Amino acid sequence: MKSHRKELWFHVPTRRAYINITPQVEDALAESGVQEGLCLVNAMHITASVFINDDEPGLHQDYDEWLERLAPHAPVEQYRHNVGEDNADAHMKRQVMGREVVVAISQGRLDLGTWEQIFYGEFDGRRKKRALVKIIGE
Ligand code: ZN
C-alpha cells in the first residue's frame, strides 16, 4: 500500500475566508501515485474547517452570514471561552462546518460529484495555519 502525507499552509489576511483547495489536493494526489484509494483532508486547527460544497461566491457569502447569525463574533464578552482571547465564535463556526472530508480515489482522480469542490474554511485567520492531506491506496 502506498501512503502520502502533505501539509497545506494558509495565511489568510482576514478573520474569515473560504478557499477552494481542490487543485492543491489534486497536486498531492498526483505526487502520491495512488490510483485506487482514499484521500483524507483535515484542518489542523480548532478554529478552521475543511468541507465540500459548491464553488459559488453567493453560497459562500450565505454561509458566512448564516454562521455569523449562529455564532456572532461580537460582542466577544458573550462567550465564556473568551478569557484572554476572542475566538469562541470561530470554534463554533468550525464545529458546524466540520473538521475533515474523505474523498474516494478512482483511476488516479478524486472521485467527486459534479459540483463538489474541497474548501478550507478559515474562522480565525491573520496567522499561519495548515491543513493535512493524507492519501492511502494502491
Ligand atoms: Zn479559542
- For the stretch 97-135, pLDDT in tens is 999 999 999 999 999 999 999 999 999 999 999 999 999
pLDDT for 95? 98
Q: Please, which residues have CB less than 5 A from ligand 1, an ion? A: 85, 87
Extents of the domains making up the chain = 2-137
Give the Cα separation of 74 and 9 in Å (integer).
28
> pTM of the prediction?
0.97
pLDDT for 17? 98
Which residues of the chain are under the pLDDT cut of 50? none
Ligand 1 center–CA 16 separation, angstroms:
15
Ligand 1 center–CA 45 separation, angstroms:
10
pLDDT for 71? 98
CATH superfamily of 2-137: YjbQ-like (2.60.120.460)
| 107 phi-psi bin (left φ>0, alpha ψ -120 to 50, beta other) | left
Q: What would the grid cell of residue 88 be?
A: 469562541
